[in-house]
Amino acid sequence: MKKFLVLALVAMLVLSFGSVSVLAANPIITATGSDSADVKGTYVEGSAASAVYSVDLEWGALEFTYTDAGTGTWNPGNHSYSGGAAASWACDDPGVGDKIKVTNHSNRAVIATFSFAPESGADFAAITGAFTGTGITSNAATLGAGVVGQYATAANVTATLTLSGALGSSVNTQTTIGAVTVTLSVPG
Amino acid sequence: MKHAMDKKFNLRKFLIILLVVITVGAVATTLFVLLKNSDDPDAIPEFAPQDTDNNAEAIEDDDDEEKLEASEGGGAVSMSYSKEVSISLSEKKASIIFWNPKRSTMDAVLQLIVISGEQEAVIAQSQLLPAGYKLEKMDLLDTAKLSAGKYSGKFNILYYNPETGERAVVNTNIPVDIQVKE
């Protein structure tokens, strides 16, 4: 019985060595021989990050006062006026109330375009608005896509609104004179 | 005596007629305002609509209680959106994505506009979308005349002060691609 078991085990060992040598492409038959095997891989396209648009928009009170041109003080000695001033617009809270800030938290770049449209009516028809600020060209700025892990430093632009053109003299209380539109488009 | 009674009677008659005239005037004014509004469903409201939009849903997991900083008299909004809009003519609905998170200091009203050359037509307009709410469906206006195909369009987003209901002087336009299906 023991002999039979030993024979069976030896036979199994021999067969298993045989199957390994059959499977190897280049069986190692010398003491210093070598073998190689291909490592195979397949490329499967990962899911592309879909566009996620997320933008913050902040604005000041946007309240302005128009001062009409002043002729100044008459000087009878030389028949001239002195101390006159040209008509002008001034923000009631300069540096804060005339600002519009756009911050891009999207994973795509965004173009912010600023425009001003006066209210309808003769008193407002001559008013125009311009937007200036770092990175703004022709009232528009491109804001780069958000960078992973850098929320606090997201691309942003701050526009300052300046008005020009005359306001009708009948508007002597705080009145809506126009509206600002911020258009958020994509490059290309 | 009779003269005094006649005078009293005439005064009473005058007061009744005056009250009737005032009542008729008030009813006529109310009807005019109501009918005017129903005739012009895409008019930009000067003040915030009273009702939250039927399609508005609270944004889940919007736990950011800290509002954006807004200077006095100004406003601040945080918006998330998709530029793709799909319209089902059979359902008379537009599928969109527009979120107005709690961080915003303003409520919003959304208009969906189709652009064809120089022509623009409002095809859907929401009621109020308060901060903390999102809109993923819009009901098409009855006046919207569309057929299947691709269109250029835009969102026009208007902002309203949640305390006073006043419309902000700033609004936002977002160009969108509109796919219309039967």
ipTM of the complex: 0.78
Q: Phi and psi dihedrals of A6, rounded to 5?
A: -60, -45
Kindly determine whether residue A60 and residue B71, on different chains, have CB atoms separated by under 8 Å.
yes
Q: Using an 8 Å CB-CB cutoff, list chain B residues near A179.
A: 169-171
Per DSSP, the three-state class of B172 is: strand
Give this prediction's pTM: 0.76
Q: Do residues B156 and B111 touch, judged by C-beta distance below 8 A? A: yes
Would the pLDDT of A8 be above 80? no
- As given in the structure block, the two tokens for residue B114 are 């189709």
> What pLDDT, on a 0 to 100 scale, did the predictor assign at position B95?
96
Quickly state the pLDDT bin for B31 (edges 50, 70, 90).
low
Question: Look-up: residue for tokens 């009542």?
Answer: B23
> What pLDDT, on a 0 to 100 scale, did the predictor assign at position A188?
84
> Which residue, among B97, B96, B85, has the nearest Cα to B150 in the 3D structure?
B85
Kindly determine whether residue A97 and residue B71, on different chains, have CB atoms separated by under 8 Å.
yes
Mean pLDDT across chain A: 88
What is the separation, in whole angstroms, between the first and last Cα of chain B?
A: 82
Most B CBs within 10 A among A50, A52, A53, A151, hence the mutation to make, goes to A53
Q: CB contacts < 8 Å between A and B, how many? A: 89
Quickly state the pLDDT bin for B101 (edges 50, 70, 90).
very high
- The whole-number average pLDDT for the span A56-85 is 91
Q: Do residues A133 and A159 touch, judged by C-beta distance below 8 A? A: yes
Q: Using an 8 Å CB-CB cutoff, list chain A residues near B75.
A: 58-59
Does residue A115 or residue A33 have the better pLDDT?
A115
- Give the pLDDT confidence of B137-171 residue by residue, as tens digits: 999 998 778 899 999 999 999 999 999 999 999 99
> What pLDDT, on a 0 to 100 scale, did the predictor assign at position B59?
94
> What pLDDT, on a 0 to 100 scale, did the predictor assign at position B149?
93
> Which residue, among B97, B145, B107, has the nearest Cα to B129 in the 3D structure?
B107
- Find the CB nearest A54 among B69, B76, B80: B80
Q: How many CA atoms lie within 13 A of B12 on its CB side?
A: 6
- Find the CB nearest A181 among B76, B82, B173: B173
> What pLDDT, on a 0 to 100 scale, did the predictor assign at position B118?
87
Q: Is A117 in CB contact (< 8 Å) with chain B?
A: no
**Distance between CA atoms of residues B151 and B178, nearest Å:** 5
Question: Look-up: residue for tokens 């701050």?
Answer: A158
Kindly determine whether residue A97 and residue B74, on different chains, have CB atoms separated by under 8 Å.
yes
Which residue is closest to B99 within chain A, CA to CA?
Answer: A54
A148: how many CB neighbours lie within 10 A of its CB?
A: 6
Poorest-confidence range of A8-17, B47-56, B120-129, B143-152? A8-17
Q: Using an 8 Å CB-CB cutoff, list chain B residues near A59.
A: 70, 74-76, 168-170
B148: how many CB neighbours lie within 10 A of its CB?
A: 10
